[in-house]
């Protein structure tokens, strides 16, 4: 697919600087781009790459326009513009509609749905138009999937889960497994609490590879519209995640936590159960959220790393912070005593 910059701005807006007839075919990073490539410039630390770029054109903000050695599309948000252009130039490849050999599809599905070989779509499932269910997926009884969704291989949807429109579920995703609910018996053993709730996933949600979202214990686990979950995330039963929140890889969210809208959570963070996090809160990577957060902002609770020997000396002190505070208090008293005398 080859388009001119004029074609691009006709579709996506923005101002052309230089020759609008320049033809581009694909996206590329500033530093490796060549003829036919369009790049973007959004981070000032890459200015040196911009100056010498081999790209045919660059997307950039007004402030950077004069620095650009080639044709440009000027727009206040270059990265956002780039994302939209990239979607246009690189549309997701859709497999042909139809049920492939080896699939097991007792469900009634629209003609334009693709079901890959060895995929299973149980009898009561309702699949939206144009959806792709790749090889190895197992879609349980009574599942609903909205139109235009794309399930990569080996996704498992337990019975009764509801997925909105235009969902992207990556390989190995599991939605609707039982929440971790047990009552302790008198002998120390555990009695399973049946997990009778479901999972409701909104529209325009993307869920990364091998991420798991458990069904609710009594009521539902709810993932809002536009939520983006990275890989290897665990979302426990009855969690609620607000619209447009984005969560990075390896995060664990314990049962009944409620996370607001437009939040971001960094990789490896842990959110404890029954915590509430307000809208527009940003949790730094590796942070343990052990109590609720009511005020928007960025929150962090991690430790600096250092050479191991330094760490050994320094961090042994962590076991003695209370003692250090006691010593300081004692010193304050002794000094006050001396000051009175002098």
Residue 66 or 295: the one with the smaller Cβ distance to its own copies is 295
- Measuring CA to CA, which residue among 154, 249, 238, 168 is closest to residue 203? 168
Task: Name every residue whose Cβ is closer than 8 Å to that of residue 191 and which is 6 or more positions away in sequence.
Answer: 182, 183, 184, 185
Supply angle C-alpha 156, 160, 162, rounded to 5.
Answer: 80
What is the torsion angle, in degrees rounded to the nearest 10, for the CA atoms of residue 257, residue 162, residue 143 and residue 219?
Answer: 40
Question: Residues with Cβ < 8 Å from 125, sequence gap 6 or more?
Answer: 107, 109, 139, 140, 141, 142, 143, 144, 145
Stretch that binds its own copies, among 14-22, 50-58, 63-71, 330-338 (CB under 8 A): 330-338
Establish if 321 lies at the interface with its own copies (CB under 8 A): yes
Footprint of its own copies on residues 201-260 (CB under 8 A)?
204, 206, 208-210, 212, 214, 218-219, 226, 228, 230-232, 234, 236, 243-244, 246, 248-250, 252, 254
Compute how many residues bind its own copies; rule: CB under 8 A: 130
Starting at the edge strand found earlier in the chain, the sheet holding 174-177 runs 120-121, 138-139, 156-157, 174-177, 212-214, 234-235, 252-253, 270-271, 288-289
**Separation CA 164–CA 173 (nearest Å):** 15
* Span near its own copies by CB under 8 A; candidates 5-13, 51-59, 84-92, 123-131: 84-92
Q: Which of 90, 114, 170, 237 is catalytic?
A: 237
- Does 189 bind its own copies (CB under 8 A)? Our answer is yes
Positions in 120-179 near its own copies (CB under 8 A):
120, 134-136, 138, 152-154, 156, 158-159, 168, 170-172, 174, 177-178
Of positions 19, 268, 276, 278, contacts its own copies by CB under 8 A: 268
Work out which of 13, 47, 69, 90 binds its own copies, going by CB under 8 A.
Answer: 90
Active site residue 90: no
Query: In this chain, which of 117, 123, 292, 294 binds its own copies, going by CB under 8 A?
Result: 117
For the CB of residue 281, give the shortest distance to its own copies in the complex, in Å.
10
Which of 206, 197, 221, 202 has its CA nearest to residue 155? Answer: 206
Stretch that binds its own copies, among 6-14, 51-59, 60-68, 85-93 (CB under 8 A): 85-93
> x/- binding map, residues 299-318, to its own copies, per CB under 8 A?
xxxxxxxxxx-xxxxxxxxx
Using alpha carbons, select from 113, 112, 123, 116 the residue that is nearest to residue 101: 116
Residue 12 in contact with its own copies, rule: CB under 8 A: no
- Examine residue 1 and tell whether it contacts its own copies (CB under 8 A): no
What size, in residues, is the chain?
342
Please give the Cα distance from 194 to 263 (Å, whole number). Answer: 31
Work out whether 26 is an interface residue with its own copies (CB under 8 A): yes
User: Active-site residues: which are they?
Assistant: 237
């Amino acid at each position: 697919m080859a388009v001119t910059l004029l074609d691009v701005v006709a579709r996506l807006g923005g101002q052309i600087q230089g020759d609008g007839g320049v033809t581009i075919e694909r996206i590329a990073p500033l530093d490796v781009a060549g003829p036919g490539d369009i790049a973007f410039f959004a981070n000032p630390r890459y200015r040196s790459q911009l100056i010498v770029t081999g790209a045919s054109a660059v997307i950039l903000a007004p402030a950077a326009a004069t620095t650009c050695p080639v044709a440009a599309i000027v727009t206040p948000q270059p990265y956002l513009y780039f994302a939209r252009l990239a979607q246009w130039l690189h549309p997701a490849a859709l497999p042909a509609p139809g049920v492939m050999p080896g699939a097991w599809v007792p469900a009634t599905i629209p003609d334009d749905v693709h079901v890959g070989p060895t995929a299973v779509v149980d009898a009561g499932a309702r699949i939206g138009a144009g959806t792709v269910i790749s090889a190895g997926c197992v879609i349980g009884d009574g599942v609903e999937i909205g139109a235009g969704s794309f399930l990569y291989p080996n996704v498992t949807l337990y019975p009764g889960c509801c997925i909105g429109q235009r969902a992207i579920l990556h390989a190995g995703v599991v939605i609707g497994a039982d929440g971790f609910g047990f009552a302790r018996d008198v002998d120390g053993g555990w009695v399973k609490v049946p997990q009778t709730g479901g999972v409701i996933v909104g529209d325009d949600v993307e869920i990364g590879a091998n991420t798991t979202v458990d069904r609710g214990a009594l009521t539902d686990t709810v993932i809002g519209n536009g939520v983006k979950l990275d890989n290897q995330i665990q979302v426990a039963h009855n969690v609620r995640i607000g619209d447009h929140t984005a969560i990075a890889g390896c995060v664990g969210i314990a049962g009944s936590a409620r996370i607001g809208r437009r939040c971001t959570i960094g990789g490896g963070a842990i959110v404890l159960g029954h915590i509430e996090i307000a809208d527009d809160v940003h949790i730094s990577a590796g942070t343990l959220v052990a109590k609720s957060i009511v005020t928007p902002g960025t929150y962090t609770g991690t430790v600096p790393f250092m050479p191991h020997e330094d760490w050994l000396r320094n961090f042994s002190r962590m076991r003695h912070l209370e003692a250090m505070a006691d010593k300081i208090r004692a010193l304050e008293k002794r000094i006050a005593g001396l000051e009175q005398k002098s």
